[in-house]
Chains A and B, each alone.
Chain A
Amino acid sequence: MTNEIKEDHEKLREVLDKTLHRFKNNLQTQLSLMNIQTSTNRSYFDDKKVIVDRVFALTHVYDLYYRSSKGESLSEDSSVSLQSFMLQFFQYLQTSTPKIDFDLIEIAEVNVDVDNLLLLSYILVEINDFRKNLDDTLTIEISRKDNKVLFKFSFSSIENHENFHELFEDQYKIFDLMVMQLKGKFDYKKKFVRLSFPIL
């Protein structure tokens, strides 16, 4: 019995150490994003909203991460349910931005690493800023194909999304870096832009 308590205690300490380490890295990413936007002259339609949204994404991820780490056995895994996070985050975005429609297709079983989920939410924040810039309606669809997550988005005022990159070229640096970090890639189709990235 004593050994079990000791093992649980050690495991709990390991999880806390890991969480603190991860959290500091995530804060570093937030700071880096702010500094990169200055160094690349990325100007946002609404600077304050972008930063607030990133902070809320971080909070939502850690809420879920904390809850999933409280299971009966402490998990070594650092992934979080994509569906739970997206439902929570879209709900949050829609309270201030009703012009976002979203559809989650069969992703109930998909878990994504906390760091990657944060990057995905920051990409979403960037896309939302493009939408505001266009004063447009944004439609997003998230699905899974094999070992990849597909993240499709389209703007109602853009007729051909193959031109999406040219349209926002000057503001693309942060977007590109985040996609590189996700090991993902963009496909520009007429009706939508698709970001695909691998999951475990």
Chain B
Amino acid sequence: MKTKVLVVEDDKLVSYEIKSILDNNGFDVDICDSYSCCIKNLDTFKPELILLDIDLHKKYEGIQIGSYLNSKVNIPFIYITGYTDVETLKRIQTTKPVGYLSKPFREIDIINNIELALYNKKASLDNNKKSEEQPEERKYSKPIKRALEYIDTNINQEIKTDELIRVSGWSKFHFIREFAKEVGMTPYQYIFDEKMKLASSKLKNTYQTVKEIAFDLGYTSNSSFTNAFVKHSGLSPSNFRKKYCR
């Protein structure tokens, strides 16, 4: 069965060329030219790998997609771009792509990058399988692991300590003591840090307004989010965005 590759590129000539190269090398290819088309194709086409241009109709729209892929779905992606400046490279690193292909590129560059990404994906899956079969010494106890998974899944909402206690199955004091021992901070601090990390990433890589980001992270008001962010980074969300997004 052919490997499915989604190409997200708004330049018709470049996307046609990439499609021809991939067709000739035995891949099943689909083309998209926007954020919404890409998100739709994740369900309909089910790609195993994505080639992603950084600038689509909007500047940095590709990084926004990369950010989504990194946080929501486990599909490897490779950026294709003419950017080589340090600021852009720093920005794309936060979205954890498996590769980076600089324009102008050759056929061999595309194929080598894809083969390497697919090989790494397979190796990582094999490793996960092995670790499932022969579990190493666990870092976290099962109740704490359940609480961390709960936080990860519900990071976009207000997370109450009572809920964490419930999923852990422990008593309140035992849970708080064990959490601090295993994770190195209190549940409140951990949730706060995770929310602020996500907020920083969204401010750097998306076009969402501060109000939307606050809402996405479960804050009921703009000012409570702004106060929290200032406490975390020393900058207001809008100043943070100005500083890191050129």
Q: Which residue numbers of A lie inside 8 Å of B, CB to CB?
A: 14, 17, 20-25, 27-33, 35-36, 39, 174, 177-178, 180-181
**B13 and A178 contacting across the interface, CB-CB below 8 Å:** yes
Between A and B, how many residue pairs show CB distances below 8 Å?
60
Q: In the complex, which of the residues A27, A39, A174, A181 contacts B104, with contact meaning CB atoms closer than 8 Å?
A: A27
Taking A32-B13, A177-B13 as given, write out 16 further A-B residue pairs in contact, using a Cβ cutoff of 8 Å, ordered by the A residue number.
A20-B82, A21-B83, A23-B82, A24-B84, A24-B102, A25-B11, A25-B82, A27-B104, A31-B17, A31-B104, A31-B105, A32-B11, A32-B17, A39-B24, A178-B12, A180-B12
- Chain B, 72-86, contact with A by CB distance < 8 Å: what is the 0/1 string? 000000000011110
With contact pairs A28-B104, A28-B105, A31-B104 given, residues A21 and B17 touching in the complex (Cβ less than 8 Å): no
| Closest beta carbon of chain A to B214's beta carbon, Å | 30
Interface centre among B83, B102, B106 (most CB of A within 10 A): B83
Residue of A nearest to B21 (CB): A35
Residues of chain A within 8 A of B83, CB atoms compared = 21
Residues of chain A within 8 A of B104, CB atoms compared = 24, 27-28, 30-31
**B12 and A181 contacting across the interface, CB-CB below 8 Å:** yes
| CA–CA, A20 and B82, complex, Å | 8
**Interface check B244, CB cutoff 8 A:** no
**A29 and B20 contacting across the interface, CB-CB below 8 Å:** no
| Closest beta carbon of chain B to A126's beta carbon, Å | 12
**A28 and B14 contacting across the interface, CB-CB below 8 Å:** yes
**Interface check B170, CB cutoff 8 A:** no
**B16 and A20 contacting across the interface, CB-CB below 8 Å:** no
Residues of chain B within 8 A of A17, CB atoms compared = 85
With contact pairs A35-B17, A39-B20 given, residues A29 and B84 touching in the complex (Cβ less than 8 Å): no
Residues of chain A within 8 A of B107, CB atoms compared = 35
Q: List B residues 82-116 near A (Cβ within 8 Å).
A: 82-85, 102-107
**A24 and B13 contacting across the interface, CB-CB below 8 Å:** no
With contact pairs A36-B13, A180-B12 given, residues A28 and B82 touching in the complex (Cβ less than 8 Å): yes
Residues of chain A within 8 A of B105, CB atoms compared = 28, 31
